Structure 1
Amino acid sequence: MNKTAVLWDLNGVIIDDMRFHFLSFQAYMRELGSDMTEEYFITNCTGTPPNEVFEAVLPVLGNPVSIEEAIERKREIYFELIRGNMKILPGVKQLIDDLCSRGVKQAVASGATGIEVETILREFDIRERFGAVVACEDVSHGKPDPEPFLTAASRLGIPPEMCVVIEDGEYGIRAARACGMAALAVTNTQTREQLALASLIVDSLEEVDAGAVLGLI
């Protein structure tokens, strides 16, 4: 039995939907009579679970709704925006299939909500490739805390040192390194300088195959 695993981030790695997350946050803030700039989103929301985003912004607005209501409405707007507009990133399906053919276990560890993760994976018919999904509601602390990746590894039954994380964000890379996992960074959303802690940095997953990924362990 193969005793290695690859743990995938979702947003910015499997799909490029950061623009849709920004637009859905912005649209909802405008519904509440406020706004959100792209600069604020990039600095404070990228890689941050939605409950933590709303924990920060709702008190400033006088807590007009509950965090649960805010998450649900933002999710509704997000799904409206991505319908028919979402694309899987280059090299992703090929790498997932290559890893599967070698018997490598795979999981998704994302700061998105479970319903978002499940919907996206099923949209591209790749849900069955993943032995575990860890979403924001499955952990007490999001990235850069290592809990999401440790939880995913535990669910797969693979020790952390035998896992490779695929990430596009500095927080995710820091989380992987904090628990002794190798990290492959792809520059879909951040610069090489921001991802410098990674074991390997590429500009596209088309540049690597399963052998190259597993060689990082």
Structure 2
Amino acid sequence: MNRLAGVIFDMDGLIFDTEMIYYEATQIVADELKIPYDKALYLRFLGVSDEEVWEGYHRLFDETFGTEYVQQFIEQSYRKTLEMFEAGQASLKPGVRELLRALDDAGLPRVVASSNQREVIDRLLAVSNLSHEFMEIISFEDVVRAKPDPEIFEVAQQRLQLPKERLVILEDSQNGILAAYAAGIPVIMVPDLLLPDEELKQKTVAVLDSLVEVPSFLQRFYN
């Protein structure tokens, strides 16, 4: 990595401990509707856009339950997730506020680049009083192709107006790492639910246990 000038944050599983809430909300609704769903199925779609997840559910369940019933499952799961977010159940991951303060002290701008919908991103940031911490938010609505396509990170780099080699991406998922690598932007992985294999590790600058470790790691690149 070169001298650091800006930071791109993923959101789900990185800033917020949301992945289990997505799973729990969907599992509650699936149980109510008698749809065969479990954590293994949830993990199959980890790190992709909502649109791709929903398409996957239709592929898996339409033949058995019908398109309208599966759409009901999707919509109820989405509403249940938002209810849980509004109730403040998506806790901040350890080290978030400390990292943001360190980046403030270093004068480094940052953006959020998430495959989630803008409505969800805005709600989560507002509930945790983090909306002011990011100069831009790039969401699912701002791109044509979701991660692992590099488009979302390329848009983030354009918004920051900084060279790729002077940026770093913070990511937790395989698709996020692949997208960062394809974009040619250095990436640090902070794993959430799934650990990287050796091949994925080779595509990162580092794999750190939590955001708590990030400030000291980055310090060498902006001093």
Deviation at 1:5, TM superposition (A): 1.4
Q: Which amino acid aligns with 1:53?
A: V
Name structure 2 gaps, 5 residues minimum. Answer: none
- Counterparts of 2:161 and 2:111 in 1: how far apart (Å)? 11
Does residue 78 (structure 1) correspond to residue 81 (structure 2)? The answer is yes
Structure 1 or 2: more helix by fraction: 2
Q: Is the 8 A contact 1:8 1:109 kept in 2?
A: yes
- Counterparts of 2:177 and 2:219 in 1: how far apart (Å)? 15
- Counterparts of 1:202 and 1:3 in 2: how far apart (Å)? 18
Partner residue of 1:97?
101
Other structure's SS at 1:13 match: coil
Partner residue of 1:156?
160
- Counterparts of 1:36 and 1:158 in 2: how far apart (Å)? 43
Q: Deviations for 1:44-70, whole angstroms, at most 9, x for unmatched residues? A: x21111111111222532321696x76
Deviation at 1:151, TM superposition (A): 1.0
| TM-score, structure 2 normalization | 0.85
Q: Which amino acid aligns with 2:7?
A: V
Other structure's SS at 1:128 match: helix
Deviation at 1:214, TM superposition (A): 6.8
Q: Is the 8 A contact 1:54 1:70 kept in 2?
A: no
Q: Is the 8 A contact 2:21 2:90 kept in 1?
A: no
Count of matched residue positions in the alignment of Structure 1 and Structure 2: 213
Q: Is the 8 A contact 1:100 1:129 kept in 2?
A: no
- Counterparts of 1:39 and 1:66 in 2: how far apart (Å)? 19
Range with bigger deviation, 146-155 or 96-105? 96-105
Does residue 48 (structure 1) correspond to residue 65 (structure 2)? The answer is no
- Counterparts of 2:182 and 2:67 in 1: how far apart (Å)? 35
Runs of 4+ in structure 1 deviating by more than 6 angstroms, as ranges, are: none
Q: Which amino acid aligns with 2:131?
A: R
Q: Which amino acid aligns with 2:215?
A: D
- Backbone CA RMSD of aligned residues: 2.4
Q: Deviations for 1:75-121, whole angstroms, at most 9, x for unmatched residues? A: 31002223132211111111112112222110111121111111111
Q: Is the 8 A contact 1:164 1:214 kept in 2?
A: no
Q: 1:192 to 1:126 in 2, by over 3 A?
A: same
Q: Which amino acid aligns with 2:107?
A: G
Task: Give the alignment of 1:102-181 within 5 angstroms.
Answer: 102-181=106-185
| TM-score, structure 1 normalization | 0.87
